Structure formats: C-alpha cells, structure tokens
Amino acid sequence: MEALLIPLAILVLAAVVVVLVARALGRRRNPGAESGPAGAPSSQEAARAAAQVLDQDQHRRVYAFIARGQAVAAIQAYREATGTGLRAARDAVAALAAHPQQFREAAPVDAPAEDAGVPQHFPYRYRAIASRGEVTREVSSTMLNDEIYGRIRRQAADGDVEGAAAALCRHSDISLDEAREFIALLED
C-alpha cells in the first residue's frame, strides 16, 4: 500500500496543476468574463460622468493608456486621479473606452452655447456607417461624435435631408454629394 501512495500523490498534484492551467488559459481567452457583473452596461452617460471628474492632464493620461491598450495602467491612473475604488475605476475606464469623451472644462452657468457653424476636432476618429442592401457608405472624421451624428440623423429623419447633408459635410472631409448619398442610406 505504501508503494502506491507516492504515485497517487503525484497523480493528484498533476491533476491540480492541469485544472489551474486550464482555468488560467480560459481567463486569457475570455477577458470580459471578469469585467464587472453580468449585464452591467457601460453607457454614454457613465462615460460622460467618468470624464467630468478628470482635469485635462488626468483625462489625457487615462486616454493615452486606453489608446495603447494598457487597461490596468488606465485604471490605476483613474484611481489616482479620482480616489475611487478598484471596481468603480474599472467600470469608469471601461465606459471611457467604449464611449470616448472629449475633455470639457466645467462650463459656467451663463456660458453661451457652442457655435454650431465651427466644428471642433476630437482626439479620436469617429466612424459612421450607413447601409441599405448591398450599398454601404462610411464616414470617418475627427469632427464627429455620437452627439453630432445623432443630431444629423434626427435632422434627416425630420425631413431636412439637405440640412443633414450640409451638417455631415461640415463635420467631415466628404463632399456634399457624398454626404447626400450617405444621408439617403439613413432614410427609412
């Protein structure tokens, strides 16, 4: 019986090592499995709220880490900047990565609205895609974001196709004819 004890201990130890290695490889293949509770969405509002608590240097630093794919460093930078806990910082960085936010200074209460005629450039390229059947068009620009593109879509849905095409042309590097083609694909 004693002769079987050592091989049995080696067999159990090998099984434990195999299970641990399989778990580690499974986590690497499915990194989202550890990120937050199931069904916890990273919304535009969460990203906006996360970005509002950062000053310009902190904002730039967090997004530099996100752009390089260094999520852990981005979370650490966010925690240092805000003093939040690990889970809150992880959720904030996930929201910021999913919904990029431009840095905005806290606007005074009586500040005038942005001039709609002068598009501003964002630190990322926004991609808008429209398709119908086999036809697909894409607009990629640093002068577009979710908010501006949403206004253009609403304008087109309200029947102001020319105004929507002009706005899209103003916020991208495409011609008015290309913008009209793109807007025509948005219409239902």
pLDDT of 89 reads: 92
Which pair of structure tokens corresponds to residue 61? Answer: 């630093």
* Mean pLDDT calculated for residue range 152-177: 88
Q: Which residues are bridge partners to 127 per DSSP?
A: 140
CA distances to 7, 77, 93, 166 from 66, rounded to whole Å, are 49, 11, 8, 33
- Given a cut of 80, whether residue 75 has pLDDT beyond it is yes
- Residue at token pair 């650490």: 76
- Given a cut of 70, whether residue 117 has pLDDT beyond it is no
pLDDT of 116 reads: 52
154-157 own/partner pairs: CB under 8 Å, 24+ apart? 156/183, 156/186, 156/187, 157/186, 157/187, 157/188
Q: Measured between alpha carbons, how far is 178 from 155 in angstroms, rounded to an integer? A: 17
pLDDT of 118 reads: 65
Q: How many alpha carbons lie under 13 Å from residue 150 in its C-beta half-sphere?
A: 4
Q: How confident is the model at residue 78 (pLDDT cuts 50, 70, 90)?
A: very high
Q: How confident is the model at residue 36 (pLDDT cuts 50, 70, 90)?
A: very low
SS3 124: coil
Q: What is the largest CA-CA distance in the chain?
A: 89
pTM of the model: 0.39
- Given a cut of 50, whether residue 32 has pLDDT beyond it is no
pLDDT of 14 reads: 92
The more confidently predicted of residues 34 and 97 is 97
94 CB neighbour count, 10 Å cutoff: 23
Q: What backbone torsions phi and psi does residue 132 show, to the nearest 5 degrees?
A: -150, 120
* Mean pLDDT calculated for residue range 87-94: 92
Question: CA angle at residue 134 from 130 to 137, to 5 degrees?
Answer: 30
Q: Measured between alpha carbons, how far is 102 from 160 in angstroms, rounded to an integer? A: 28
* Mean pLDDT calculated for residue range 58-81: 91
